[in-house]
A = this chain, B = another copy of it.
Amino acid sequence: MYSFERPLDLLNQAKGKEVLVQLKNEKQFVGKLLAFDIHINIVLEGTKEVVNSEVRKNLGLTFVRGDTIIFISPSSIGEVKSGKD
């Protein structure tokens, strides 16, 4: 089982890994998490806009404003370790 002191610890561990980002406007981004701050502003590398598991656009390096984000799921971490608890 994981133990994170604070929610941002998960984002810290996810740096350099691929994450799924759900936006409030119904769209999803997939990309490598490069940076985040306390407002949950993030930078993704190799950002792809995904609709129904299909890539619609390649946006490359992208700054996403935190207040437009619903959730961030570091898929690789989740998949690899979900059998451990």
B71 touches A64 (CB 8 A): yes
Q: How far is the CA of A69 from the CA of B71 in the complex (A)?
A: 11
CB 8 Å contact bits of A29-71 with B (1 = contact, 0 = none): 0001011110011110111000000000011111111111111
Q: Which of B3, B32, B79 contacts A34 (CB 8 A)?
A: B3
Interface size on A, residues (CB 8 A): 52
Contact across chains for A61 and B35 when beta carbons are under 8 A apart: no
A residues apposed to B, CB below 8 Å: 1-11, 16, 20, 23-25, 32, 34-37, 40-43, 45-47, 58-75, 77-79, 81-82, 85
Sample (26) of A-B pairs whose CB atoms are under 8 Å apart:
A2-B34, A2-B43, A3-B34, A6-B37, A7-B37, A7-B41, A8-B37, A9-B35, A10-B43, A10-B63, A20-B59, A23-B70, A24-B68, A25-B70, A45-B82, A60-B73, A60-B75, A61-B78, A62-B71, A62-B72, A64-B71, A65-B66, A65-B69, A65-B71, A68-B70, A68-B71
